[in-house]
Amino acid sequence: MNLVSIRDIYKDPKKYIDKEIKLGGWVRSNRDSKSFGFIMLNDGTYFDQLQIVYHDVLDNFEAVKKINVGAALIIKGKLIETPEAKQPFEIQASEICIEGVSAPDYPLQKKRHSLEFLRSISHLRPRTNTFQAVFRVRSLIAFAIHSFFNERGFIYVHTPIITGSDAEGAGEMFKVTALDLQNIPKTEDGNVDFLQDFFNKETSLTVSGQLNGETFAMAFKNIYTFGPTFRAENSNTARHAAEFWMIEPEMAFADLTDNMDIAEDMLKYIIKYVLENAPQEMKFFNEFIDKGLLDRLKNVLDSDFGRISYTEAVELLEKHNDSFEYKVSWGCDLQTEHERYLTEKIFKKPVFVTDYPKDIKAFYMKLNPDNKTVAAMDCLVPGIGEIIGGSQREDDYNKLLKRIEELGMDTSLYEFYLDLRKYGSARHAGFGLGFERCVMYLTGISNIRDVLPFPRTVGSCDI
Amino acid sequence: MNLVSIRDIYKDPKKYIDKEIKLGGWVRSNRDSKSFGFIMLNDGTYFDQLQIVYHDVLDNFEAVKKINVGAALIIKGKLIETPEAKQPFEIQASEICIEGVSAPDYPLQKKRHSLEFLRSISHLRPRTNTFQAVFRVRSLIAFAIHSFFNERGFIYVHTPIITGSDAEGAGEMFKVTALDLQNIPKTEDGNVDFLQDFFNKETSLTVSGQLNGETFAMAFKNIYTFGPTFRAENSNTARHAAEFWMIEPEMAFADLTDNMDIAEDMLKYIIKYVLENAPQEMKFFNEFIDKGLLDRLKNVLDSDFGRISYTEAVELLEKHNDSFEYKVSWGCDLQTEHERYLTEKIFKKPVFVTDYPKDIKAFYMKLNPDNKTVAAMDCLVPGIGEIIGGSQREDDYNKLLKRIEELGMDTSLYEFYLDLRKYGSARHAGFGLGFERCVMYLTGISNIRDVLPFPRTVGSCDI
């Protein structure tokens, strides 16, 4: 149809000024007087609207005057500079074709709606300013991540969603089955007969692609995953969803310091990319969602992330135990309140906490020479807490096997993983970035339901 | 650790020639004589190996001589030009550190292995030439797709994996549940009590993100999805997997012609990108996997795709009914044998077939004025058959509602979808590209199991 998009116009107005163009979009407002009217048109390609001026010379002037918010139009007209007006240019319409009307009960009238209400209409909320900004920035962050890793020669791996194993030996998993739930087949001894299921075994939705990712890192050196992961945890909080996306880079011949370096570079790259490519959206967040957002993000670009060991962090936090609901002591897992205190009050910038007690971390993390801690790292950021969790991996066959056995895990499920330590083992490290937390961090949006296009949470799976 | 990668060296050798560098990688072969030896080293970042020459001046010369295929090494040495030799340069090692040995039973010895055997060791096969090439090209294709859409301002949407509805009103779906399969709770009348399940309702794995994608297209104009999709179909063929990735662009204010234009541009963009960024890999496929691949792909770049209606295609195919197992007649669905005949024998290039009978296509496709066919398009390519399926969508509220009712579908599940036709409906179109089929098309690999990092097929869900 050769429509010009509003994005095209804002990117290079000179190309279109004083020319007859055609564009399609949706009505955000329509004001009219006797012989003329103004439509603010949004076509979804750009944050700002474009003003359309129309006159009673139009054949369908009376019909156009009655157009509701939300209607779809195809407009022909000339783009005119308007140096005196609020908008830098407007369209003088010569033809307005009503592509689709909007019924009078359209839920998105001009007034401001609460985020809670908008969650109940997830199929329409992308048409509001807030969600136009959120989901455009979400898309830009995803592209920034792919670009970052591609520029560095990392191979993108699609690790499997349906899995026969539990990557972390922890985390509640959704089951995947093709069995008839109404009539689950049972074996003679009364157990579920998974041999009759699609994969002839019990399967679940993945909680992490890391172990699979490691097999590729031991072949390609640098790889990353970017895919959906799942938790069947009954946590109804603003930070948890049952389905979320994760980025998991894994690097062979890399240690914990390399790991932190890449994580820091990646976060800075993302911030820089979004500030450059979504200035209107970021200004909007800074004004209406989270005042101070821009200063905070720019400050991150200009500073080195803090780096501190868990043991040092606990010493610092213990001095402030009065402020915490859960008191801190060596050996405890850090809660969000502790993480946020560290990054917001003590460091006032992102900080890596490293070398956690082995008992509160996963089996695959590399044991430090002290035999008490592992080469783990969590990256904490203001406003969120943990945004990245990672580690150097145990690369010693015997130590890994011992840990798997100590924890009573089923060794047979980890043979492939042990093989990586048997055939050309190399030091390697990686981390997981929660994609939605990253979007929250960059937009200031405080509820994970508002950065997921169609959130899945306890009791909620709409559309 | 500041390791130089083999990719870095091949990209800009001048930067490293005659310099002392450090690199890590895995041994592909190790030949030695009395006082010196040669190691072919691969570090996964580049298709070609790098030759390492070592001498008996090394402290650990005897140990290095005994190093097996598959071992991991960290090597210090000088990069030397070797204009007389097969390789353009080699490393003269001053230090070889054995990072990880390789046990003698390493399955990937120098001989050639069958693809079938390699499927049984999916955690090690990425270390072979074939799978280095396949998975690097897979990664490049993914990046090309993101770049293509990002350059055109399309918004990347993560449509949900867990869904409460069946996008196409067809296709067998995997169930997702957090219920205890051993003790499924039942209601008083004996049915599964889904109110006790995680989402308080019955849920499945998505077969398509299209319907959700449309809601975003009606807000952002141009969007695409790129995510995993699932089929619980008992098809044990070389072209079907239970879990595969799909790309689904959706464009508002676009018709079937726009749809074909974008699909054609996209495929050409991908081919061009891969030919430019993976010349070694593509040469390898052309020599060892599919002779004629390169000519075929280059031919695609230089030609316009064919475009033909289903009715015309059936007329052409009917003349060759002798060649087919399933005979063609108007109204029948085209089988792979027909699709391949059209694209391989008749057109000898990719071809779009359009305007199929409505009864063999999905409910959401736009009814043509003939009331018999819908504005559908399938893109067929040589060697594969259907690689893309798409359509213009029905944008008329009443026609869509009528079709949903005709097919006996549950209208209440599609209220959100009907809303898109109630509030600012606009002509729109989109398609689905099967990502694995695209990888097969570009590599010449004939079994989908060999382009999936960890294939999930009937009875098979390893690692």
A28 to chain B: nearest residue by CA?
B424
Residues A157 and A76 in one domain: no
Structure tokens at A412: 């047979």
The CATH number linked to B63 is 2.40.50.140
Chain B residue numbers touching A43 (CB-CB < 8 A): 221
Chain B residue numbers touching A254 (CB-CB < 8 A): 1
pLDDT band at A246 (very low <50, low <70, confident <90, very high): very high
- To the nearest whole angstrom, how far is the Cα of A316 from the nearest Cα of chain B? 30
Chain A residue numbers touching B136 (CB-CB < 8 A): 155, 220
Contact between B453 and A158 using a beta-carbon 8 Å cutoff: yes
Residues A331 and A277 in one domain: yes
What is the C-alpha separation between A254 and A266, in angstroms, rounded? Answer: 16
Q: Is A100 helix (H, G, I), strand (E, B) or coil?
A: strand
Structure tokens at A42: 């949004």
Residues A28 and A139 in one domain: no
Over residues A50-82, the pLDDT tens digits come to 999 999 999 999 999 999 999 999 999 999 999
In a domain, A49, yes or no: yes
- To the nearest whole angstrom, how far is the Cα of A368 from the nearest Cα of chain B? 18
Domain boundary among A100, A116, A138: A100
Name the maximum alpha-carbon separation found in chain A.
85
Residues A217 and A345 in one domain: yes
In a domain, B195, yes or no: no
Residues B294 and B384 in one domain: yes
Please name the residues in contact with A420: beta carbons below 8 A apart, sequence gap of 6 or more: A214, A215, A218, B123
B261 to chain A: nearest residue by CA?
A1
Q: Is B337 helix (H, G, I), strand (E, B) or coil?
A: helix
Residues A73 and A149 in one domain: no
Contact between A132 and B219 using a beta-carbon 8 Å cutoff: yes
Contact between B219 and A126 using a beta-carbon 8 Å cutoff: yes
Contact between A100 and B395 using a beta-carbon 8 Å cutoff: yes
The reported pLDDT for the residue numbered A1 is 63
* Cβ contact A9:A18 at 8 Å: no
In A33-71, where do the E strands start and end? 36-42, 50-55
Please name the residues in contact with A129: beta carbons below 8 A apart, sequence gap of 6 or more: A47, A284
pLDDT at A169 over 80: no
In a domain, A196, yes or no: no
- Which of A219, A253, A395 lies closest to B1 in CB terms? A253
Percent of all residues in chain A with a pLDDT value above 90, rounded to a whole number: 92
pLDDT at A111 over 80: no
Over residues B90-148, the pLDDT tens digits come to 999 999 999 999 999 999 987 789 999 999 999 999 999 999 999 999 999 999 999 99
Residues A138 and A33 in one domain: no
C-alpha distances (whole Å) from B459 to each of B235, B243, B456 are 11, 13, 8
In a domain, B197, yes or no: no
Chain A residue numbers touching B74 (CB-CB < 8 A): 253
Q: Give the domain range for residue B38.
A: 6-100
**Residue found by looking up tokens 């690199």 in the block:** B23
- To the nearest whole angstrom, how far is the Cα of A319 from the nearest Cα of chain B? 36
- To the nearest whole angstrom, how far is the Cα of A97 from the nearest Cα of chain B? 11
Residues A306 and A349 in one domain: yes
Average model confidence (pLDDT) across chain A: 95
Percent of all residues in chain A with a pLDDT value above 70, rounded to a whole number: 98
Q: List the beta bridge partners of residue A298.
A: none
What is the C-alpha separation between A300 and A272, in angstroms, rounded? Answer: 10
B172 to chain A: nearest residue by CA?
A178
B191 to chain A: nearest residue by CA?
A182
- Which of B205, B219, B232 lies closest to A127 in CB terms? B219
For chain A, the domain total comes to: 2
Structure tokens at B201: 């309702």
In a domain, A139, yes or no: yes
In a domain, B46, yes or no: yes
* Cβ contact A125:A270 at 8 Å: no
Residues A157 and A16 in one domain: no
Q: Digits of tens for pLDDT over chain B (463 positions)?
A: 689 999 999 999 999 999 999 999 999 999 988 899 999 999 999 999 999 999 999 999 999 999 999 999 999 999 999 999 888 999 999 999 999 999 999 999 877 899 999 999 999 999 999 999 999 999 999 999 999 999 999 999 999 999 987 655 556 899 999 999 999 999 999 999 999 999 999 999 999 999 999 999 999 999 999 999 999 999 889 999 999 999 999 999 999 999 999 999 999 999 999 999 999 999 999 999 999 999 999 999 999 999 999 999 999 999 999 999 999 999 999 999 999 999 999 999 999 999 999 999 999 999 999 999 999 999 999 988 999 999 999 999 999 999 999 999 989 989 999 999 999 999 999 999 999 999 999 999 999 999 999 999 999 999 9
Q: Is A366 helix (H, G, I), strand (E, B) or coil?
A: coil
- Which of B102, B423, B460 lies closest to A423 in CB terms? B102
Residues A212 and A80 in one domain: no
Over residues A184-205, the pLDDT tens digits come to 999 999 999 999 999 999 999 9
Over residues B398-452, the pLDDT tens digits come to 999 999 999 999 899 899 999 999 999 999 999 999 999 999 999 999 999 999 9
Residues A301 and A439 in one domain: yes
ipTM of the complex: 0.97
In a domain, B259, yes or no: yes
A124 to chain B: nearest residue by CA?
B215
Contact between B103 and A423 using a beta-carbon 8 Å cutoff: yes
Residues A254 and A317 in one domain: yes
In a domain, A181, yes or no: no
Contact between B220 and A132 using a beta-carbon 8 Å cutoff: yes
Over residues A207-238, the pLDDT tens digits come to 999 999 999 999 999 999 999 999 999 988 99
What is the C-alpha separation between A215 and B127, in angstroms, rounded? Answer: 9
Q: What is the dihedral of CA A101, A107, A110, A113, to 10 degrees?
A: -160
Handedness of CA B184, B190, B191, B197 (dihedral sign): negative
What is the C-alpha separation between B139 and B417, in angstroms, rounded? Answer: 33
The CATH number linked to B254 is 3.30.930.10
> Over the range B155-168, which residues count as b (16 or more CB within 10 Å of their CB) and which as e?
bbbbbbbbbbbbbe
Chain B residue numbers touching A428 (CB-CB < 8 A): none
C-alpha distances (whole Å) from A182 to each of A21, A219, A355, A457 are 59, 44, 48, 24
